[in-house]
């Protein structure tokens, strides 16, 4: 039987979130505001801005594990819709280290290797959104992708040794190498070992529609279309991906907000260099936002998805991450985002460690 590291249970995330919610102090009811006699048409827009004052929402980061990088994945996001005429620009760098394996023994010379993913990846992107009508905004996302051998292996080894956290037996493998290879269900090998470097990613279009306020919080529907614009080592995908999410955001009290959502992606091109992907892939997330100061929010968020590839021998099913982030307002219009990404389940098919640094500006 193949030997590999035990999974980490995702139930710990649920317990963490429920524990924090149980300790939060309920908000005191605010006195009713007087209703204006005039300018009735402007009241809904002002109310929309007042619903969740000061909340940043989850820090959006996609799953960029090397085998998932060419596909559309769905991020944690909020139910906020930009007011009509308001625009937002976001730029960020997201880098991560991937290390997962399934073979009869650890190390570089197994008799049987079902798969080995040993790589680093980076996404540099710009996102633009604009409110085109009350309760409706549209956006575009333009990413540049990179993957290769990288340099983070020794740093992550030191981190695991210092903290005592599990390290997926990295010390038994060579550091700072790029390998994506394995066996398919039909017995044939697959290899992406020559597919590394920089290229334009899938340009993505987005439309976000407010569904109003129900059950104590805001609701929104988000639709996404991923276009086949990839170049370089990512050029092999020709299909159009479609994704949709139902998102909910609500204040739990004056300092804590909850964001949650479910969604699904339909992959237009299911085969990439021998790897066969699931046609439909559900996603779900939950995020807790704590307003530390009027300028700073701390975020704990967890995103999950079903099986990615369905023809790699022994490839795990459910994928889950736990993220810790900070959003800090540099000014009334500009916010700095920092996020640390850690895998929960499955260790063999998710990014081992990642981070994101971004800037958001509204105008």
| C-alpha closest to that of 178 among 194, 189, 156, 190 | 194
In a domain, 67, yes or no: yes
Task: Output b/e per residue, 39-51; b: 16+ Cβ within 10 A.
Answer: eeeeeebeebeee
10 Å CB burial of residue 186 (0-12, 13-18, 19+) is: exposed
Going by the DSSP 8-state scheme, the letter that residue 348 receives in this structure is: G
In a domain, 268, yes or no: yes
Domain that holds residue 219: 11-19+51-362
In a domain, 38, yes or no: no
Per-residue pLDDT tens, the chain, 363 aa: give them. 444 444 344 444 434 444 443 434 444 444 454 444 434 333 344 333 334 456 999 999 999 999 999 999 999 999 999 999 999 999 999 999 999 999 999 999 999 999 999 999 999 999 999 999 999 999 999 999 999 998 988 888 887 778 777 778 888 999 999 999 999 999 999 999 999 999 999 999 999 999 999 999 999 999 999 999 999 999 877 899 999 999 999 999 999 999 999 999 999 988 888 999 999 999 999 999 999 999 999 999 999 999 999 999 999 999 999 999 999 999 999 999 999 999 998 989 999 999 999 999 999
The tally of domains found in the chain comes to 1
Residue keyed to tokens 């049987």: 112
Task: Output b/e per residue, 142-164; b: 16+ Cβ within 10 A.
Answer: ebbbbbbbbebbeebeeebeeee
pLDDT of residue 273: 87
In a domain, 25, yes or no: no
In a domain, 269, yes or no: yes
DSSP letters for 173-233: S-SS--EEEEEBTTS-EEE-TT--EEEE---EEEEEEEEEEETTEEEEEEEEEE-S---GG
pLDDT of residue 131: 98
The CATH number covering residue 175 comes to 2.40.160.40
- Tell me if 282 sits within 8 A of 263, measured CB to CB: yes
pLDDT of residue 21: 39
In a domain, 2, yes or no: no
């Amino acid at each position: 039987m193949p030997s590999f590291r035990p999974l980490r249970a995702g139930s710990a995330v649920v317990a963490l979130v429920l524990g924090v919610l149980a300790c939060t102090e309920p908000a005191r009811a605010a006195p009713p505001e007087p209703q204006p006699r005039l300018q009735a048409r402007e009241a809904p827009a002002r109310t929309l801005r007042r619903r969740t004052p000061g909340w940043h929402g989850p820090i959006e980061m996609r799953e960029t594990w090397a085998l998932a990088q060419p596909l559309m994945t769905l991020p944690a996001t909020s139910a906020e819709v930009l007011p009509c005429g308001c625009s937002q620009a976001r730029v960020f760098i997201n880098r991560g280290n991937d290390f997962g394996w399934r073979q009869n023994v650890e190390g570089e010379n197994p008799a049987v290797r079902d798969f080995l993913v040993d790589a680093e990846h980076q996404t540099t992107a710009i996102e633009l959104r604009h409110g085109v009508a009350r309760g409706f905004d549209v956006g575009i996302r333009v990413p540049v992708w990179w993957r290769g051998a990288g340099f983070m292996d020794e740093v992550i080894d030191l981190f695991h040794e210092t903290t005592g956290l599990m390290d997926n037996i990295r010390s038994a493998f060579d550091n700072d190498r790029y390998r994506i290879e394995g066996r398919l269900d039909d017995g044939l090998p697959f290899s992406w070992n020559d597919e590394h470097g920089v290229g334009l990613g899938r340009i993505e279009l987005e439309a976000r529609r407010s569904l109003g306020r129900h059950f104590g919080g805001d609701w929104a529907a988000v639709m996404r279309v991923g276009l086949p614009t990839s170049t370089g080592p990512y050029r092999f995908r020709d299909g159009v991906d479609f994704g949709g999410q139902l998102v909910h955001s609500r204040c739990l009290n004056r300092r804590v907000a909850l964001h949650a959502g479910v969604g699904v992606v339909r992959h237009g091109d299911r085969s990439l260099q021998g790897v066969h992907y699931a046609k439909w892939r559900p996603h779900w997330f939950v995020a807790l936002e704590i307003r530390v100061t009027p300028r700073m929010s701390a975020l704990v968020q967890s995103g999950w998805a079903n099986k990615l590839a369905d023809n790699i021998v022994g490839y795990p099913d459910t994928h889950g991450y736990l993220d810790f982030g900070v959003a800090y307002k540099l000014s009334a219009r500009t916010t700095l985002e920092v996020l640390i990404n850690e895998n929960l389940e499955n260790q063999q098919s998710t990014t081992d460690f990642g981070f994101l640094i971004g800037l958001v500006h509204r105008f």
